[in-house]
Amino acid sequence: MMSPHTTATVSPRVHPFGVRPFGERLEEALDRRGPLCVGIDPHPQLLRSWGLPLDERGLLEFGRRVIDAAAGRVAVIKPQVAFFEQYGPGGLESLAEIISLARASELLVIADAKRGDIGTTMAGYADAWLGADAPWPADALTVSPYLGFGALQPAVETAQARGAGLFVLALTSNPEGAQVQLAETQAGGRVAEEIVRAAATALPSATGALGSVGLVVGATTAALAAEHGIDLTVGRVPLLAPGFGAQGASSQDLRQGFGPASRQVLVNSSRQILQVGPEVTELSEAIESTRRDLASFR
């Protein structure tokens, strides 16, 4: 009997936009544009400093300017969903428009929503962001595995069916994360180690490219992987690394922290770039400066 979240009527290699698996598309985009991912984080302080209203109009204009600056310069943008949700339906409508603009500009979109639940609820989250009729059709979604990695299976199935991707929280940059992520399991390893292994086998590439289920590993915490014997190269999973720039991590920290997994890393920068706005020219210059800073990393 088919489970409620099964998408058996859809070919597992077909995406609603007629493209290949996320990991393959991501690797090609990284080879072409480099490892920088630009965050779209329109928190109220930034909206005010940019002279924009704290409503859906301000959100949309904020996103437009970031996309104008990022298009043709980077591979990926990452909207932080919370900053849109807080404005209600209008904010989410602005997010949908920003995703549409990003797609038209040939940018991959990671929706940073950190969803995590069980059963049909998890399937609902996956359909909202990755499904064939998703109102916010992202290329990938951040998810939380702390109800057990197996609880993410509906999202894995949707990602496989739609050619989309997931980024699973593994070694996050917040200090509190260590109490869960580095906790010892019954088998004697670390929670993060089990998450890495599960991600590596979830949606591996059939061509040797990056897999379509990746991990969130903070730029400031990546060194913990080697310290605790966690192999980030297993399965060639993509690694989304927040914490670069204004949050403290340098290019040298990235090289030392990720080591042999460096070719898998997508480096997110938000505050360091966004704080130079509101003009597109200045945002573009900040993106180019960050790209140069990362040129020797990958």
The domain that holds 184 is classified in CATH as 3.20.20.70
What's the DSSP call for residue 277? -
Residue 219 CA to chain centroid, in angstroms? 14
Structure tokens at 86: 């807080």
Bridge-partner residues for 77, per DSSP? 38, 109
How far is Cα 111 from Cα 298, in angstroms, rounded to an integer? Answer: 24
| pLDDT for res 212 | 98
Band of residue 7 on the pLDDT scale cut at 50, 70, 90:
very low
Residue type, 71: A
Residue 253, domain member (yes or no): no
Residues labelled as active-site residues: 114
pLDDT at 11 over 80: no
pLDDT at position 284: 98
The verdict on residue 83 lying in a domain is yes
In 3D, which of 80, 83, 99 has the Cα closest to residue 43?
83
* Structural domain boundaries enclosing 209: 24-221+236-246+265-294
pLDDT of residue 249: 75
User: Do the beta carbons of residue 135 and residue 96 sit within 8 Å?
Assistant: yes
Domain count, the chain: 1
Domain contains 258: no
Model confidence band, residue 10 (pLDDT cutoffs 50, 70, 90): very low
Contact 34, 295 (CB under 8 A): yes
Q: Is the pLDDT of residue 245 over 80?
A: no
Q: Is residue 122 part of a domain?
A: yes
Please indicate, yes or no, if residue 6 is contained in any of the structural domains.
Answer: no
pLDDT tens-digit map of 53-79:
999 999 999 999 999 999 999 999 999
The DSSP output letter for 185 is P
Mean pLDDT of 102-119: 97
Higher-scoring residue by pLDDT: 89, 298: 89
CB atoms closer than 10 angstroms to residue 243: 24
Per-residue pLDDT at 1: 32
User: Residue 255 domain-assigned?
Assistant: no
Chain segment 139-176, per-residue pLDDT in tens: 999 999 999 999 999 999 999 999 999 999 999 989 89
Model pTM score:
0.92
- Residue 9 domain-assigned (yes or no): no
Residue type, 147: L
298 closest CA partner among 248, 247, 240, 259: 259
| Rg of the chain in Å (alpha carbons) | 18
DSSP per residue, 43-98: -HHHHHHTT--SSHHHHHHHHHHHHHHHTTT-SEEEEBTHHHHTTHHHHHHHHHHH
Residue 102 lies in a domain: yes
